[in-house]
Amino acid sequence: MRTARKGSVEMPAFVRQLVKETEKRVSSFFKGGRGGASDGEQPGEGEKEEVIPSPYLDRPVLDKLTEEGCARWGLTYALGSMQGWRANMEDFHNCVPQLGGELAEWSFFAVFDGHAGSTVAQYCSQHLLGHILATAGIGPEDNPEKVKGAITEGFMQTDKHLHSVARREGWERGGTTVVSTLISPYYIYFANCGDSRAMLCRSGQVCFSTEDHKPYSPLEKERIESAGGSVSLQRINGSLAVSRALGDFSYKGAENRTPGQQMVSPEPEVCVVERSPTDEFLVLACDGVWDTISNEELCAFIHNRLQVCTDLRDVCTQVIDLCLYKGSLDNISIILLCFPGAPQLSAEALHQEAELEDLLESKVAEIYDELSASGEEPDLLSVLTVLASTIIPGLPPGGGIQSKRNCIISAYYHQRETHRPTVPNELGSS
């Protein structure tokens, strides 16, 4: 991570160490009742204990996939993706900074958040763009109504072809949400199907964001019930937590109803925003991000990080770790697109970042000394707990104390090394 200070700990290392320190507490939470009987209870005689696989791991998978690139018209982008606590990685993505030919100034990006398997998300990541372009509604004239229609038709055709593949290959389980953007020289087109989300930041503020498609939303609930379904526990038939998706064909069998009128609709909500020189950046992310951070918080955090980090992959990595520390239990994927008007490296911001890290290091030293003086053996979790209740000025907007844990953990291990007793050399010198 390229910030104001040198020698900072790599993200995966400090995350792993924190997980190690808190493993017993978190594991006990996820393992509770997993065997099908409560603690202390045994299955009755002749009963077979049912073991239900947990959708969560005992420890998160912290390895990250990162990618970066640019378009010749000035767009730069980066992707970050991590499996996290989920038992399987079901996210996929598609990054096409230049479509080529007469659409050489156009770009397409999408995040696919699969559920009940990764097959549908993977298929759609490979075929959605092709179906959109095959409608012939996208051309140099950049007609917003035609483009919106082409995007919608592309989604519907993808779902239709996907259903044929599913029937041919004998599977109909699983689906995927999709959030995507098609950027032309004049417009930004957003297409959302499900509860992943896109957000546009302009002049340091949230300019636009897509709406999540949840079963309990009034219009979504009305369609679900009209198609013969119900909404309970905020889910369709008490099971599926999204009301629009590609795939999920077991929810699309209502007779005499169009695809868009089924319990789960494959029809995206398509919006268009005219481009502006004040556009800074655009985010596409799965609900593993949005479950833990608001639009405004993420906009402020990324705006601040772009002033102290030169590598967009580092910014994506920091967002992923921030969401993990805020409690995200899902796969986490984010695509960050930066326009020419994005914040640039700032000497003042770098200076403030250095001052903040100096302050955090001194606070860690104080806490370590206080715990040691009271006869306690200062462990990392104790130091983090005390620090979390301390007022720290200058923390990154939208990030809070969670966003600086790399600095905190580095400072903690420096203190532990400093306080380690010196072992006398009894062998002497030869």
Domain ranges of the chain: 56-338, 347-417
Element (H, E) at 246: strand 246-247
pLDDT at 424: 62
Q: Name residues whose C-beta falls within 8 Å of residue 217's C-beta, 6 or more positions apart in sequence.
A: 243
Over the chain (430 residues), the average pLDDT of each successive run of 10 is 37 46 41 36 50 85 96 95 97 96 96 96 97 94 97 98 92 92 98 98 97 97 97 96 97 95 98 98 98 98 97 98 95 98 96 96 94 87 90 95 90 89 57
Distance CA 17, CA 15 (A): 5
Distance CA 75, CA 339 (A): 5
Distance CA 193, CA 123 (A): 16
Distance CA 222, CA 261 (A): 10
Q: Where are the beta strands (DSSP E) in 311-392?
A: 332-338
Superfamily of domain 56-338: PPM-type phosphatase domain (3.60.40.10)
- Nearest to residue 180, comparing CAs of 131, 111, 114? 111
Angle, helices 11-31 vs 312-325, to 10°: value is: 30
The pTM of the full predicted model, rounded to 2 decimals, is 0.86
- Nearest to residue 97, comparing CAs of 105, 89, 86? 105
Burial class (CB in 10 A: 0-12, 13-18, 19+), 197: buried
Beta-bridge partner residues of 374: none
Distance CA 19, CA 39 (A): 25
Superfamily of domain 347-417: Phosphatase 2C, C-terminal domain suprefamily (1.10.10.430)
User: Do the Cβ atoms of 233 and 314 come closer than 8 Å?
Assistant: no
Distance CA 189, CA 284 (A): 12
Place of tokens 């689906």: 175
- Nearest to residue 179, comparing CAs of 209, 222, 204? 209
Element (H, E) at 295: helix 295-305
User: Do the Cβ atoms of 121 and 361 come closer than 8 Å?
Assistant: no
* Tokens coding 142: 């950049």
pLDDT at 406: 83
Distance CA 328, CA 324 (A): 5
